[in-house]
Amino acid sequence: MHGILPLWKEKGYTSHDCVSKARGMLKTRKIGHTGTLDPDVEGVLPLCVGKATKIVPFLTDTEKVYEAVITLGSSTETEDASGDVVDQKPVVDEIPASEIQSVLKSFIGEITQVPPMYSAVKVKGKRLYQYAREGIEVDRPERKVTIKTIELLDRPFPVKDERQSVPIRVVCSKGTYIRTLCVDIGRELGFPAHMSALIRTQTGAIRKKDCLTFEQVQHYVDLERQEELLLPLSKGLEHMSSFQVSEQDKQAILHGQVLPKPKEVTAPEFSVICNHEVIAMYQVHPTKPNKIKPIRVF
Cβ(68)–Cβ(178) under 8 Å? yes
Q: Does residue 38 have an active-site annotation?
A: yes
Cβ(190)–Cβ(95) under 8 Å? no
Say how far apart CA 14 and CA 25 lie, in whole Å. Answer: 17
Find the catalytic residue in 38, 80, 139, 184. Answer: 38
Q: What is the DSSP letter of 262?
A: P
Q: What residues does 89 pair with on adjacent strands? A: none
Q: Which amino acid is at 82?
A: S
Query: 97-105 vs 178-189: helix axis angle to the nearest 10?
Result: 120
Element (H, E) at 64: strand 64-72
256 phi and psi, to 5 degrees? Answer: 70, 35
Report strand pairing: 259-260 vs 291-297.
antiparallel
Q: What residues does 4 pair with on adjacent strands? A: 48, 231
Cβ(281)–Cβ(239) under 8 Å? no
Say how far apart CA 92 and CA 164 lie, in whole Å. Answer: 9
Taking alpha carbons only, the member of 295, 205, 278, 282 closest to residue 2 is 278
| Catalytic (active-site) positions | 38
